[in-house]
Amino acid sequence: MAFTKAFPKRTDKLSIPTWVDITLSEDEEKQVDEKARQENIRLMKECIDDAKRIFIDKNMREYQTNIVNIAIALFEKRASHSVYWKESRAKEKI
pLDDT in tens, 29-84: 899 889 888 988 888 898 889 988 988 898 888 788 888 888 888 887 766 566 77
Neighbours of 11 (CB within 10 A): 9
- What residues are paired with 78 via a beta bridge? none
pLDDT over threshold 70, residue 28: yes
The gap between the terminal CA atoms of the chain, to the nearest Å, is 20
User: Which pLDDT belongs to residue 87?
Assistant: 81
User: Which pLDDT belongs to residue 49?
Assistant: 92
Query: How far does Cα 91 stand from its chain's mean position?
Result: 15
Number of domains in the chain: 1
Which residue stretches of the chain are H helix? 26-57, 64-78, 82-92
Residue type at 33 in one-letter notation? D
- Region 12-21: mean pLDDT is 84
Which range marks the domain in which residue 74 is found? 4-92
- SS3 of 22, please? strand
What pTM value is reported for the model?
Answer: 0.61
